[in-house]
C-alpha cells in the first residue's frame, strides 16, 4: 500500500482539529549520511510524500453517512506544502483510499509546472477521497 496515515502534529485544541494526517508515498529513500561535527556515518531512511488535507471548507472534518473521513489533496492554494519528507517510523498504518466520485476529477490542483501535475497521458486526480481505516 502506498497510502499511509500518521498522528497529526497539530494542536488538538484548534478548531476543526483532525487526529490523523494522510499521505501518498511517492518514493522510499535509504541514504548513508555523514553527521556534521562527529564525522560519523549513519543510515537515514525517509519517505517522499504527497499530502492530503482538510483545508477545503466543503470537506474539512466531514464524514459521510457511512462514517468515512472525506479528504482532498493539498493544492497550490492551501497554506501547507503539497509535498514533503517524513520519517517512516511515524507511520501508523496503511489505509484504503476510495475516490469520491460525486466530487468529480481535476488536473488543476497544482500549477502546470509542478512535478506531480496530471498530463494528457496521465490520469486526473479526484477532487476528494474517502478514507477506509
- What pLDDT is stored for residue 28 in this prediction? 95
Confidence of residue 111 (pLDDT cuts 50, 70, 90): low
- What pLDDT is stored for residue 38 in this prediction? 94
**How many domains is the chain built from?**
1
Confidence of residue 124 (pLDDT cuts 50, 70, 90): low
- Contact between residue 104 and residue 97 where contact means Cβ atoms under 8 Å apart: no
Residue 126's Cβ-side half-sphere holds a number of Cα atoms within 13 Å equal to 14
Range of the domain at 60: 3-132
- Contact between residue 10 and residue 17 where contact means Cβ atoms under 8 Å apart: yes
Q: What is the pTM of this model?
A: 0.74
Match 514533503 to its residue by C-alpha cell.
Answer: 84
Average pLDDT over residues 61-87: 74
- Contact between residue 55 and residue 74 where contact means Cβ atoms under 8 Å apart: yes
**Grid coordinates belonging to 56:** 477545503
| Residue 42 clears pLDDT 50, i.e. is over it | yes
CA dihedral (30, 19, 99, 25) in degrees, to 10, reads 0
Give the DSSP H/E element, type plus range, for residue 82.
none
- What pLDDT is stored for residue 33 in this prediction? 94
- Taking the C-alpha atoms of residue 14 and residue 125, their distance in angstroms, rounded to an integer, is 29
Phi, psi of 90 (to 5 degrees): -85, -5
Amino acid at each position: 500500500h502506498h497510502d499511509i496515515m500518521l498522528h497529526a502534529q497539530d494542536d488538538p485544541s484548534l478548531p476543526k482539529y483532525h487526529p490523523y494526517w494522510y499521505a501518498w508515498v511517492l518514493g522510499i529513500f535509504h541514504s548513508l549520511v555523514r553527521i556534521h561535527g562527529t564525522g560519523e556515518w549513519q543510515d537515514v531512511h525517509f519517505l517522499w510524500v504527497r499530502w492530503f488535507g482538510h483545508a477545503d471548507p466543503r470537506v474539512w472534518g466531514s464524514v459521510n453517512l457511512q462514517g468515512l473521513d472525506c479528504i482532498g489533496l493539498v493544492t497550490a492554494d492551501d497554506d501547507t506544502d503539497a509535498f514533503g519528507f517524513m520519517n517512516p517510523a511515524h507511520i501508523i498504518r496503511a489505509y484504503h483510499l476510495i475516490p469520491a466520485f460525486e466530487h468529480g476529477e481535476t488536473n488543476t490542483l497544482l500549477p502546470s509546472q509542478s512535478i506531480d501535475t496530471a498530463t494528457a497521458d496521465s490520469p486526473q486526480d479526484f477532487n476528494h477521497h474517502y478514507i477506509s481505516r
